[in-house]
Amino acid sequence: MSYQGKHARQRTIPSWIAGSLIATLLGVGTTTQALTLEERQELDLSDYTVRAPDASYFNVTERMMLLQETNNSLLMQQREELTNYAPSCQQRLEIPTITNQLRIPGFYPTPDAWRLATEPLFDFEDTVSELAGSFVASSDDYYAECLVRFLDKWARDDALLSFYYHWNQPQAWFSLESMIFAAAMAYSVVHPHVEGLEEEKTRVEAWLNELANVHMAIEGAESSCCNNHFYRRALYAAMIGVLTEDDDMFRFGVSAIYSALHDMTEAGAFPLEVKRGRRATHYQNYALLYLIPIMEITERQGYDVYDLEIDGNTMHDAVDFAMAILEDPAELGDLAPREQYTGFLKDDQYFAWMEMYGARFGEARFNDIVAPMRPIYNRGAGGYATLYFMDPDVQQHLVIDDEGRRETQAFKGLSSN
């Protein structure tokens, strides 16, 4: 029986809980225990299959049409910038592939060395995201075809398939996560719109699938098996599973939704994230940065995962908790210190998920965070999020506060119709 017939729009505890996990759930009350790797592998997700291999994480055709007609000044400005200052394909094709064994120093112990080593990785992510964004903004197949050719160059060189991993030196493995989902999400935007280049597209898709399988074969140590790094792997798995019609890989992506909902506390906290002390708020938000795109990919395949409820929890609870602790760290209770790291609040990339979630549910409560940051861009987990998702009826204007500071605010404008 298909998922549509068996589970659609039901807000109930899925049947797999009734078996091996019921004793655990009944025994923990408001304290949850993260699913083990074995329990996660035992989830029955057989109802999830790829239904629409050409579906990206947003409706590309619909958005392109909207962008050509919109009179929203912010969207018009970003559209024109990506159209008039779009990348040169030849320059992008000259970027060298990474074929040697990738080895990256740790970020926290050696941030300067990490930044230097990751520059080529970030160039890759920016390139694929920029080409996809230029295609959406301009409707010019030139950029879509360039992205396919760019990725095909990496596929022909078997790039990124060799990397160093040790449980106490996992940074190359971590860094590859974002490269893989950046490539997959960008490619998902263009591949149905590229006519011809069939050999190149076949090679790119085979490479993405192999790259994902090689990377996923490492389960991770301690929390990285199951925390935000699991969600990052699940993000590329969900997207590549769709692109290559690999049901097992797609289900790996979906398993992150089930795992996150199971692990969630009654308040909506992700225990493995909020245990990070002064960075608890940052990591609750960081988990949503990957979980929400997975939700969008899965919804685009026709599954109502936002309605999915496990032990009384939905993903909306995690969003509510994130907003509560962003506004008042005291809402963390005994989970973490009140003195929270807030540096991430100045960086728009961490809030791409708010554009996605806000567009789907018509949320206005994110405005204080996202309005001053727009246009929001994340080179991997969503690309040009504002361009792809923002409601064009949301207007922005500059105001001067009582102390003379310039501040951007958003408001819901009247429709031009």
In a domain, 93, yes or no: yes
- Between 7-21, 161-175, 227-241, 299-313, the lowest mean confidence (pLDDT) is in 7-21
Q: What is the pLDDT of residue 313?
A: 94
pLDDT of 59 higher than 80: yes
Supply φ then ψ for residue 389, to 5 degrees: -125, -25
For helices 198-216 and 171-190, what crossing angle results, to 10°? 150
Of the given ranges (10-14, 40-44, 68-72, 124-128), which has the lowest mean pLDDT? 10-14
Identify whether 217 is part of a domain: yes
In a domain, 58, yes or no: no
- 402 compared with 230, residue with greater pLDDT: 230
In a domain, 245, yes or no: no
pLDDT at 3: 27
Whether residue 348 lies inside any domain: the answer is no
- Under the banding of pLDDT at 50, 70 and 90, the label for residue 15 is very low
SS (H, E, C) 271-285: HHHHCCHHHHHHHHH
- Mean pLDDT on 327-340: 95
Domain count, the chain: 1
According to DSSP, the residues that pair with 169 across neighbouring strands are 166
Bridge partners (DSSP) listed for residue 135: none
274 touches 283 (CB < 8 A): yes
The more confident residue out of 367 and 410 is 367
- Helices marked H in 29-110: 37-41, 60-69, 73-84, 89-93
221 lies in some domain: yes
In this structure, what are the phi and psi dihedrals at residue 164, rounded to the nearest 5 degrees? -85, 135
- pTM for the whole thing? 0.88
Residue 339 confidence class, pLDDT cut points 50, 70, 90: very high
Q: pLDDT value at position 402?
A: 57
Q: What is the mean pLDDT of residues 16-25?
A: 31
Mean pLDDT of 388-417: 59
Q: Rounded to the nearest 5°, which phi and psi values hold at 408?
A: -90, 135
How much is the pLDDT for 19? 30
β partners of residue 412: 394
For residue 63, pLDDT over 50 is answered with yes
As a whole number, mean pLDDT of residues 291-303 equals: 98
- Which residue matches tokens 């320059």? 91
Q: Is the pLDDT of residue 84 over 60?
A: yes
Cβ proximity of 267 and 316 under 8 Å: no
Among 182, 169, 290, smallest CA distance to 227 is for: 290
Quote the pLDDT of residue 38: 87
Q: Which pLDDT does position 396 carry in this prediction? A: 59
CATH number at residue 177: 1.50.10.100
For residue 257, pLDDT beyond 70: yes
- pLDDT above 70: residue 411: no
Q: What is the mean pLDDT of residues 83-92?
A: 90
Q: What is the pLDDT of residue 36?
A: 84
pLDDT class of 321 with cuts at 50, 70, 90? very high
Range of the structural domain that residue 143 is part of: 86-234
- CA–CA dist 323, 321 (Å, integer): 5
Q: Is residue 220 part of a domain?
A: yes
pLDDT > 80? residue 5: no
pLDDT of residue 248: 97
Average pLDDT of the residues in 333-346 = 95
230 lies in some domain: yes
Band of residue 412 on the pLDDT scale cut at 50, 70, 90:
low
Burial of 17 (0-12, 13-18, 19+ CB in 10 A): middle
> Which neighbouring-strand residues pair with 409?
397
- pLDDT tens for residues 265-276? 999 999 999 999
At residue 234, the pLDDT reads: 98
**354-399: pLDDT as tens digits:** 999 999 998 888 988 999 999 999 999 999 999 999 999 876 554 5
Q: Output the average pLDDT for the chain.
A: 88
- Per-residue pLDDT, averaged over 7-24, amounts to 31
